[in-house]
Amino acid sequence: MSRATQSPSKRANAASVAAVAAAGPAHAQGEEASSLWGAGAPCGACKFLRRRCVPGCVFAPHFGGSGGGGAGAAQFAAVHKVFGASNVAKMLSRVPVALRRDAASTVCYEAQARIADPVYGCVGTILALQHQVN
């Protein structure tokens, strides 16, 4: 049956099966995706990028979309504006799983600081704190 004659639900089901097969090793490593499989609730990053959140999404554990009222999407918007989604995805995939939460929160903080202070970013905050200590 050609792709043109398939119903949209069959095409979506085939894409879901392909996504699960591609994301299999990510789940074998013990990385949990906070997106709800079957419910179709995307993580904040996928919601911002307007794409389907697959079970092996590298952003889902760090930019959750459910119950946060869009906080995950707002945080990811800052990260995407400063660093770019592709660069952050590459960086998070290269960091060991045990350290990804810390890396994601650091990138999020640095992006928000860079938006607030485009010249100094988080270094401006560090310098201000050092000045208070001295």
Q: Buried (b) or exposed (e) across 21-55, using 16+ Cβ within 10 A? A: eebeebeeeebebbbeeeeebbbbbbbbbeeebbb
For residue 12, the tally of other CB atoms under 10 A from its CB is 13
The pLDDT assigned to 72 comes to: 81
Residue-wise pLDDT for 13-71, tens only, equals 333 333 333 333 333 333 344 434 435 678 888 888 888 888 888 888 888 766 555 67
Would you state the pLDDT for residue 65?
65
Confidence (pLDDT) at 70: 64
70-116 pLDDT, tens digit each = 678 888 999 999 999 999 999 999 999 999 999 999 999 999 999 99
Task: Identify the pLDDT of residue 88.
Answer: 93
The torsion of the CA quartet 49, 52, 54, 59, rounded to 10 degrees, works out to 20
Residue 131 confidence (pLDDT) above 50: yes
